[in-house]
Structure 1
Amino acid sequence: MSTILVTGHQNPDNDAIMSAVMFAQLKNQLNDGNTYVPCRLGPLPRETQLVLEKWGIEEPQLLEKIEPPAEGEEPVKLYLTDHNESGQSVPGREHAQLLGLVDHHRVGDFETAQPPFMVVLPWGSSCTVISYLFDAYGITPTDAQAACLLAAMMTDTVMLKSPTTTDVDRKFAERHGKQLGVDPVEYGKEIFKSRGSGDFTPEQMVRRDIKCFPVNGADLYIGQYETVDGAAALEQLAEIREAMEAYRQEKQAAGVVLLITDILEEGSQVLLCGDTQAAQEGLGITDEPEGVWMPGVLSRKKQVAAPILAVAQ
């Protein structure tokens, strides 16, 4: 049988890593004769590393790119989690045989040669979707799996505060929390605190969780840095802006949007760099030197990317 790779998106966040690890584990438990190997497209977030270490789960292998198959060889077989657009995926994805995806985002330029396994649901986290798949297959997650799933659900829904949060997220969060003997929100707070408020350089704030979106024929990158102390992060505003411009030039992008999301204050300081006219129109803001505080804005997907892409269509 085959070895099949499972990977989340570039600049992986907690949900991207955990969804790849958990989906690979689920598929291996279903025992269809194949071996499913979780991969990552960048460094592990600190909170992810700590949870994996606590539960004795091996970190996913780094996948830098996919090469074309040599003559007579089969292409790499691949599942995607927490993304589907090529600009967010592994370089060389076009050389792989895409078997399917598990996601909670809009469907972009995903294409397969054969009918795929495709589960895309409008919930707050890809790990909520995978929790549902455990349920659908009649498999109870182990405590380690419940801890990983719940950790990703709490970070991706900002402890169930994000507008992307659904009753399904709450149901599975409650179930995993009950299994582990923890309050889901309190568990989420500990996960966020494990990041450390001063552990990130301005470059890391820009690069650690950033996604590419095609806007009016050019690339717009939207990043998000979530913290329990937004004021401390913004003390490095000048350096953050320098890092944003350096990243824009490196990627030859039209513009960069960065959210400094303060979890406790429940809002985001929005910084703009380069050509961000569509972002300004979509968000109803202007490019201010100190950024623009947007109360209640916690979700990049629903509250930032969606209105920007709607303006650009």
Structure 2
Amino acid sequence: MSTVYVFGHKNPDNDAIMSAVVLSQLLNQVNYDGNEYKACALGALPAESAKLLTEVGVAEPEQIESVEAGQLVVLTDHNESAQSVEGLKGAVVAVVDHHRIGDFETAAPLHYICLPWGSSCTIVAKLFEVLGQQPTDVQAKLLLSAMMTDTLMLKSPTTTDVDRAMAAKLGQQVGVDPVKFGMEVFLSRPSGSFTAAEMVGNDIKMFEPAGSKLLIGQYETVDKTRALGMIDEIREAMRAYAADKDADGIVLCVTDIMEEGSQVLFEGDTELAQKGLGIADEHDGVWMPGVLSRKKQVAAPILAAAE
């Protein structure tokens, strides 16, 4: 028997955390391949994740920075090496994800599930059905929380009919309205106390279009007014974060859930990003109505522009 680490991407969001936590529980329940599965995290937990896990009495996943030679891992909510830890080569035995497939390569076949649904937790919820299991109320609540935050309460263009149906099913199980529950989870974030550095770095991913290193971050809020009053501080934090990560450029989307759009800021070498999004760099950022999904509406057109 081996101990297999299960974890999502760096700078984890709620979907990265809950998919790792609940998937590891599911795999242990069915004694999958005779291994023991341990949830881990590649960074500090988001406030909403920590709060939910405490409320339901589930231990927070252990934070790790790398994996040792011989360690087996399951990736959730990502598959690109730039978004993961050192030491992945030869370590990955499975992937459960809902993003594009980037630089992923293995020497041997593996379990790989990648579906264009709105949340990795939607896929995990489906895996309960596939493996003949019924999620507990606690598991259903954790899965639903991530499904709702990752789809922005089912408003994101990444949301599918599968997400809506699964959200309704899990909501019925735990006796909540999915959208109202999701908003409660979202509002548990201490948004009023976020510093400029936290706005930039709490939810950010590295991409490598055309051989360059581009960071794309997203700060979600129900009122962008405070963030727009901190533009100079945010831009300084963007430059500092890009320098620390040795990135060529950085894009930040200040996403207002209520107004359903994003204010987009650029720093560094972002000519390709500006081309992909069809906008220019302006000091206060550019408002892009309807842009809620980093994956589908920001990263995808930027990466397409590099082809």
Q: 1:26-175, aligned counterparts within 5 Å? A: 26-32=26-32, 33-67=34-68, 69=69, 75-94=70-89, 96-175=90-169
Helix, strand or coil at the partner of 1:106 = coil
Percent of pairs with identical residues: 61
Counterpart contact for 1:99–1:112, Cα < 8 Å: no
Counterpart contact for 1:192–1:228, Cα < 8 Å: no
CA distance in 2, matches of 1:66, 1:199: 33
CA distance in 1, matches of 2:151, 2:82: 23
Deviations 1:37-61 (A, max 9, x none): 0000000000001111111010000
Runs ≥4 residues deviating over 3 A: none
Deviations 1:187-215 (A, max 9, x none): 01101110032121110111111000111
Helix, strand or coil at the partner of 1:248 = helix
TM-score computed with the length of structure 1 as normaliser: 0.96
Counterpart contact for 1:202–1:243, Cα < 8 Å: yes
Aligned match of 2:178: 184
Q: Any unmatched runs of 5+ in structure 2?
A: none
Shift of 1:235: 1.5
Task: Indicate the larger mover: 300-309 or 103-112.
Answer: 103-112
Task: Indicate the larger mover: 32-41 or 144-153.
Answer: 32-41
Counterpart contact for 1:221–1:253, Cα < 8 Å: yes
1:309 aligns with 2:303: yes
CA distance in 2, matches of 1:259, 1:120: 25
CA distance in 1, matches of 2:67, 2:30: 26
Q: Any unmatched runs of 5+ in structure 1?
A: 70-74
Aligned match of 2:22: 22
Aligned match of 1:225: 219
Shift of 1:103: 0.1
Counterpart contact for 1:210–1:224, Cα < 8 Å: yes
Size of the alignment, in residue pairs?
A: 306
CA RMSD of the aligned region, Å?
Answer: 0.9
Counterpart contact for 1:157–1:165, Cα < 8 Å: yes
CA distance in 2, matches of 1:64, 1:291: 33
1:271 aligns with 2:265: yes
Task: Indicate the larger mover: 115-124 or 29-38.
Answer: 29-38
CA distance in 2, matches of 1:64, 1:5: 12
Aligned match of 1:10: 10
Counterpart contact for 1:258–1:271, Cα < 8 Å: yes
CA distance in 2, matches of 1:100, 1:113: 13
Aligned match of 1:72: none
